[in-house]
Structure 1
Amino acid sequence: MIITSYFPPEIGAASNRIFHMAEGLKNDYDISIVTPLPNYPTGKIFKDYKGKFRSTTEENGIKINRLWIYASVSKNKFLRLFAMLSYSFSLIWFFMWNNIPDKVIVQSPPLLVSFTCMFFLRSKKRKLILNVSDLWPSAGLELGALKEGFSYKILKKLEAYNYNNADLILGQSNEILSHIKSITTKPELFLYRNFPQIEFPKLRETSSQNGKIKMVYAGLLGIAQGILKLCQELDYRTIEFHIYGSGAEEEAIKTFINSNKNLPIYFHGRVKRDDLHLALLKYDLTIIPLLNRIYGSVPSKIFEYAKLGLPMLYFGGGEGEDVIKTHQLGWIAKEGDYKHLNEVLSGIHLKDLNHGLKSSIQDIAKVQFNFEKQLEKLKQTL
């Protein structure tokens, strides 16, 4: 059983990661998913699920249990807490009335949800596997979403409880695993990168009618990504900027574009993942930004874009920066330094972004970011 707060048809790295893990494990295990009714990132229950208290379906050989949640993306911390509590209550009810298998993978964060699972499912007969994709509450503190105080101390205790009661912890970065080691040495640790399970597309030459680099961002338009500030700070003399996605900053980005029609910024909205992959092939360069460096974070876009053969400009610091450098996937700009970002951009030329570079990036991905090899190692550990 995999318990997660995000699952398709929701978009985003967390949703994709769990989906591919489930698909990869289903040949060796009977897989079931427990997840809320889909609502992310809009904060509203998706149209096909409105009015439902629960939905149980079987899709591609996987049983999917979708539970009630009070959906919200409100900035009001009490409403957001209630949203997390509502899913936790649904989980407790589900645990009471359903047989839980002897191996359970729990996605963390959200911290409160993962604590609910670790507390109510602990048993000597059951193996609890915690899949840690971000370090909460530390990441919340770095993003400015949390402040040190009583509630932060409580969250730190929940975090420590989760780690101490896991039999195995999967971490998506070495920084995450190092952080966990500083808290407990009880569970076994496994580096599980967010490698996507996608086809390697045939690469094609891109062309520019105006001599400018076609740079693209695709993904969530949230506070952490800082796309609005990026729009405001970029030097557009050598680039045009294309944006795909949806999220909290979407309306503000649209307003900025409409107020600055002289700037070559193009908003394409949210598109299906397969369609997005085809669209990305026509761009010269992608940017992967983080407004602030988040300890433990390695954006999954790195591995996805590498398989697409898309050169990257990384602007977020941390371990993600090391991955770009080590595997020669593109360029690095100092985190939070927009002057340096524009200097790096001015030094990139269309001739640099050629078919040879894209083929090289794709070849590296085939060897270094191999989903099947990583999955086989995980199966041996489970």
Structure 2
Amino acid sequence: MKWLLITAYFPPEIGSASFLFYELGRELVRQGEMVTIITGFPTYNVNSKSLPDKYRQGCCLKESIDGMNVIRVRTLNLPRYVPVARGIEQFITAFLFFWRGLFIYQEDAEGILVYSPPLPLGLTAYGLSRIKRAPFVFNLQDIFPQSAIDLGVLKSRMLIRFFRGLERFIYKKANVVTCHSEGNRGHVISCGGEAGKVRVVPNWVNTDEIFPGPRRNSFSREWGIEGKFVVSFAGVIGYSQDIDIVLDSVQYLKNCSDLFFVIVGDGVVKERLMRKARESGINNVLFIPMQPKEIYPLILHSSDVCIATLKREVKTPVVPSKILGIMAAGKPVVASMDLNGDAPKIIKEAACGICVEPEDAKMFSEAILRFYNDRGLAEKYGNNGRKYAEENFSLRKCVEIYKDVVMSK
């Protein structure tokens, strides 16, 4: 079968968005499928100075990555911290991807799968599906515009009406809408999605690549955190992620002289957080730049506890992909987020961590202290998480679901 995958992010870019479709495409190839990717040139979470020359020139590029035919299109790279600029960039990207997709002949698709956000890529997939007469699956990872409304990023009533209309249009035109949790499915249906074509397909984690490992490794040695009780966060540091709770919790953990927070990643609010840490005289929080994909398991191995945090305003039932990686590595989770969401339900069902209300630094620190004072409990919860990830978030299992979804249309 011939697949066309459309995504704004793809390796060598770093982040869950690029890794998810890379792993999906690679597994499809391993199962004998033909896979073409339409994506952009790498600009997100990459060191531009270390990029190969092939990514620095030209408007289009065709390359092969692990058996996948990757077609890259040069897009605008506007400031991510300016919401209007990001919106303009997303619509231009959607048009450019559609235009490039028109000229794919020898790899014409029998199934089209698109990653959202950004939402406008749903238009790209719909247009190409009509022309190529192939079903398209809209893979919804972040519920937009609701997520932007909750965070206060999107306030204009006119723009809200526009994006809600676009959201309903895409849900209606997609052959299938896939979500990673039941809560997300319910939201899609409430926003116009037809119940019969909204499917839950959990996000996957490659348990063959992320697994329990020794705490002492090259990462822990390089950053001088051996012998510490390490509480880590690894991922995008954006508007949704609440890293302030880490800085605010330090006051409750003063008696734990060997406890160290390690924050790995980059994002639009990182500079503010680093400035806040300096001005507050906090010396047990280490900020580290975003690391390559192959280093990510070592970050988890170096940790005693791993955290996932979201702002109080985030009400959409998101399941951060980092939680699946933490579980696969056999580490306990401390999550600070809306307790009515789907991620706390998974953590409770798996018995792999502790969830507290968002932005409650005292409760957050008490959860960390439970694992600090009871290393046996930390090990037990970590083992529970690993077992649950193996049984429920298998990459092969999720790929089979997608193949079944497309072939049935």
TM-score normalized by structure 1? 0.91
* Equivalent residue number for residue 300 of structure 2: 280
* Equivalent residue number for residue 345 of structure 1: 368
* Equivalent residue number for residue 223 of structure 1: 239
* Equivalent residue number for residue 14 of structure 1: 17
Deviation at 1:156, TM superposition (A): 0.6
Q: Which of 27, 33, 40 is the matching residue for 2:44?
A: 40
Output the CA distance in 2 between the equivalents of 1:123 and 1:370.
33
More displaced 10-residue stretch of structure 1: 231-240 or 159-168: 231-240
Deviation at 1:45, TM superposition (A): 9.7
Output the CA distance in 1 between the equivalents of 2:288 and 2:180.
30
CA deviation profile, 1:70-112 (whole Å, cap 9, x unmatched)? 1123433332233113212312321332234131111122112
Instruction: Tell whether the 8 Å contact from 1:7 to 1:19 is kept in structure 2 after alignment.
Output: yes
Instruction: Tell whether the 8 Å contact from 1:173 to 1:193 is kept in structure 2 after alignment.
Output: yes
* Equivalent residue number for residue 246 of structure 1: 266
Q: 1:337 to 1:209 in 2, by over 3 A?
A: closer
1:325 aligns with 2:342: no
Secondary structure of the corresponding residue to residue 347 of structure 1: helix
Q: 1:354 to 1:167 in 2, by over 3 A?
A: closer
Output the CA distance in 1 between the equivalents of 2:386 and 2:116.
30
Secondary structure of the corresponding residue to residue 32 of structure 1: strand
Q: 1:229 to 1:339 in 2, by over 3 A?
A: closer
Please tell me the residue identity of whatever aligns with 1:375.
Answer: V
Aligned residues: 382
Instruction: Tell whether the 8 Å contact from 1:245 to 1:271 is kept in structure 2 after alignment.
Output: yes
* Equivalent residue number for residue 392 of structure 2: 368
Instruction: Tell whether the 8 Å contact from 1:102 to 1:127 is kept in structure 2 after alignment.
Output: yes
Instruction: Tell whether the 8 Å contact from 1:212 to 1:240 is kept in structure 2 after alignment.
Output: yes
Output the CA distance in 2 between the equivalents of 1:282 and 1:356.
17
1:312 aligns with 2:322: no
Q: Give matches, 1:13-162, under 5 Å.
A: 13-26=16-29, 27-41=31-45, 47-48=51-52, 49-99=55-105, 100-122=108-130, 125-162=133-170
Deviation at 1:231, TM superposition (A): 1.9
- Identical pairs, percent: 22
* Equivalent residue number for residue 283 of structure 2: 263
Deviation at 1:143, TM superposition (A): 1.5
Q: 1:263 to 1:102 in 2, by over 3 A?
A: same
Instruction: Tell whether the 8 Å contact from 2:6 to 2:38 is kept in structure 1 after alignment.
Output: yes
Output the CA distance in 2 between the equivalents of 1:124 and 1:202.
44
Secondary structure of the corresponding residue to residue 63 of structure 1: strand
Deviation at 1:54, TM superposition (A): 1.3
Q: Give matches, 1:185-196, under 5 Å.
A: 185=194, 188-196=197-205
TM-score normalized by structure 2? 0.85
CA deviation profile, 1:160-198 (whole Å, cap 9, x unmatched)? 111111111211111121122221327623212111114
Structure 2: gaps of 5 or more residues: none
Q: Which of 236, 239, 246 is the matching residue for 2:253?
A: 236
Output the CA distance in 2 between the equivalents of 1:144 and 1:47.
35
Output the CA distance in 1 between the equivalents of 2:398 and 2:13.
24
Please tell me the residue identity of whatever aligns with 2:405.
Answer: T
Instruction: Tell whether the 8 Å contact from 2:5 to 2:37 is kept in structure 1 after alignment.
Output: yes
Q: 1:227 to 1:43 in 2, by over 3 A?
A: farther
Deviation at 1:225, TM superposition (A): 0.7
Secondary structure of the corresponding residue to residue 158 of structure 1: helix
Output the CA distance in 1 between the equivalents of 2:163 and 2:228.
47
Secondary structure of the corresponding residue to residue 364 of structure 2: helix
Q: CA RMSD in A?
A: 2.7
1:201 aligns with 2:211: yes
More displaced 10-residue stretch of structure 1: 67-76 or 27-36: 67-76
Q: 1:346 to 1:357 in 2, by over 3 A?
A: closer
Highest relative contact order (Cα 8 Å, sep 6+), 1 or 2?
2
Instruction: Tell whether the 8 Å contact from 1:216 to 1:286 is kept in structure 2 after alignment.
Output: yes
CA deviation profile, 1:294-316 (whole Å, cap 9, x unmatched)? 31311111111111001100111
